[in-house]
């Protein structure tokens, strides 16, 4: 892709299948989460997860969270009944809340262990569907030392994949048949990924895999209404290739705008089904945000300073912290359109 950009003079080249495979691979490395994003050179992680009824957070407040569970992390946002918001200290967690937390990778792992929802990276995966996404994903997982069983009904595709990855276990059969899945040892696998070209099949396959005890299931869907259907089945948020591509295009366009105006935005991510924007800024000299306690900054509505990265350390700020020139600042907002660090302030 770099060759195409250079030789053809293109501003952006996107491989949709590879981008989708990378997203799935990232989720499989953190199977307790529904979304994982990294910022500031992997110094900070943004992790989304859904609260189950037996989670110890249910019935507690944000204040309780910081006292008993979340040292060194921050609850940046909640989605409840389809609405995203930044919670106050008196907010009470309940089952089915989607929770977005920010912290260093070590602190996030410690939080998940305290909440008894920590799972190590998966050891083995069954993938149904040997198209381009399946091939890219298989290559990435195999290179990471994860055992992969690929099920594909097209014999020509099976033979091509086997030639490229001779160490891979390839089952040339109909992956929608329970007997085929049983032969692939679905009951004992750590994760299951459905990548067929039919949304209905992917959703049903993942529901079946979850019913037989698979710990992490991922469905690829193209139609938005299947996201709600998957949720009604109790499945994690499906992977939507078009959303992944849209986010990459948005990041590129925003990056061009920010470069033109020297705004200081380094990275922009959308989270929680596009209900939030998470931005990484570089604080520049002369900014009115510098060297002032955060509680003195009048932030605009529905905006939160979630983390400050300074000299490689992830700081979860309180009201007494200040921003220094050169800091990387992670901001969360439900109101899109920020183009510079100063936009976090109330106009």
Query: Which of 132, 123, 192, 194 lies closest to 161, judged by CA?
Result: 132
CATH classification of the domain holding 204: 3.40.50.720
Q: pLDDT by residue (tens digit) across 186-213?
A: 999 999 999 999 999 999 999 999 999 9
Q: Please tell me the predicted confidence (pLDDT) of residue 42.
A: 77
Arithmetic mean of pLDDT, 9-36: 76
Q: pLDDT by residue (tens digit) across 74-101?
A: 999 999 998 999 999 999 999 999 999 9
Q: Is residue 11 part of a domain?
A: no
Largest CA distance in the chain: 66
Same domain, 235 and 248: no
Domain endpoint, select from 218, 239, 260:
239
Which residues lie closer than 8 Å to 82 by C-beta, 6 or more apart? none
Q: Which domain holds residue 35?
A: 29-114
Q: pLDDT by residue (tens digit) across 100-112?
A: 999 998 888 888 8
Q: pLDDT by residue (tens digit) across 35-46?
A: 888 888 778 989
Arithmetic mean of pLDDT, 290-309: 94
Which residues lie closer than 8 Å to 113 by C-beta, 6 or more apart? none
pTM for the whole thing? 0.69
Alpha carbon separation from 178 to 61, 71, 91, 144, 181 (Å, rounded):
44, 44, 44, 28, 5
Same domain, 152 and 232: yes
Q: Is the pLDDT of residue 125 over 50?
A: yes
One DSSP character per residue, 37-80 reads: EEETTTTEEEEEEEPPTT-TTTT-BHHHHHHHT-TTEEEEEEEE
Domain endpoint, select from 239, 262, 297:
239
Q: Residue 14 — pLDDT band, cuts 50, 70, 90? A: confident
CATH classification of the domain holding 78: 3.30.70.1450
Which residues lie closer than 8 Å to 251 by C-beta, 6 or more apart? 267, 268, 269
Arithmetic mean of pLDDT, 313-330: 94
One DSSP character per residue, 81-119 reads: TTEEE---TT-B--TT-EEEEEE-HHHHHHHHHHTT---
Check residues 118 and 139 and name the one with the higher pLDDT.
139
Q: What's the chain's length in residues?
A: 347
Q: Is residue 263 part of a domain?
A: yes
CB 330 within 8 A of CB 280: yes
Check residues 306 and 14 and name the one with the higher pLDDT.
306
CB 140 within 8 A of CB 21: yes
Same domain, 109 and 128: no
Q: Is residue 186 part of a domain?
A: yes
Q: Is residue 179 part of a domain?
A: yes
- CA dist 346 and 344 (Å) reads 7
Burial class (CB in 10 A: 0-12, 13-18, 19+), 341: buried
Supply the Cα-derived Rg of the chain in whole angstroms: 21
Phi, psi of 286 (to 5 degrees): 90, -5
What mean pLDDT is reported for the chain? 86
């Amino acid at each position: 892709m770099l060759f195409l950009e250079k030789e053809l003079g293109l501003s952006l080249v996107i491989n949709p299948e590879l981008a989708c495979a990378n997203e799935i691979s990232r989720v499989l490395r953190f199977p307790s989460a529904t979304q994982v994003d990294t910022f500031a050179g992997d110094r900070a992680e943004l992790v989304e997860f859904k609260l189950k009824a037996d989670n110890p957070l249910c019935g507690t407040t944000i204040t309780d969270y910081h006292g008993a569970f979340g040292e060194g992390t921050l609850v940046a946002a909640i989605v409840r009944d389809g609405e995203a918001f930044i919670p106050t200290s008196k907010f009470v967690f309940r089952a089915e809340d989607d929770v977005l937390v920010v912290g260093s990778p070590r602190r996030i792992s410690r939080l998940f262990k305290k909440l008894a929802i920590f799972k190590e990276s998966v050891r083995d995966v069954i993938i149904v569907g040997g198209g381009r996404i399946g091939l890219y994903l298989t290559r990435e997982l195999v290179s990471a030392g994860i055992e992969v069983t690929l099920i594909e009904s097209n014999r020509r595709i099976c033979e091509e994949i086997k030639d490229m990855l001779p160490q891979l276990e390839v089952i040339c059969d109909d992956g929608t048949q329970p007997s085929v899945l049983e032969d692939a040892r679905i009951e004992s696998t750590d994760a299951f990924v459905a990548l067929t070209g039919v949304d209905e099949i992917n959703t049903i396959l993942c529901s079946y895999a979850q019913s037989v005890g698979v710990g992490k299931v991922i469905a690829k869907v193209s139609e938005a209404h299947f996201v709600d259907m998957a949720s009604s089945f109790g499945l994690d948020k499906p992977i939507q290739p078009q959303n992944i591509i849209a986010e990459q295009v948005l990041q590129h366009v925003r990056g061009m705008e920010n470069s033109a105006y020297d705004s200081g935005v380094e990275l922009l991510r959308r989270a929680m089904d596009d209900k939030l924007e998470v931005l990484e800024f570089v604080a520049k000299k002369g900014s009115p945000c510098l060297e002032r306690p955060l509680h003195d900054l009048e932030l605009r509505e529905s905006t939160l300073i979630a983390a400050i990265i300074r000299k490689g350390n992830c700081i979860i700020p309180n009201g007494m912290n200040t921003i220094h020139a050169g800091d990387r600042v992670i901001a969360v907002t439900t109101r899109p359109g920020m183009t510079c660090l100063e936009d976090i302030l109330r106009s």
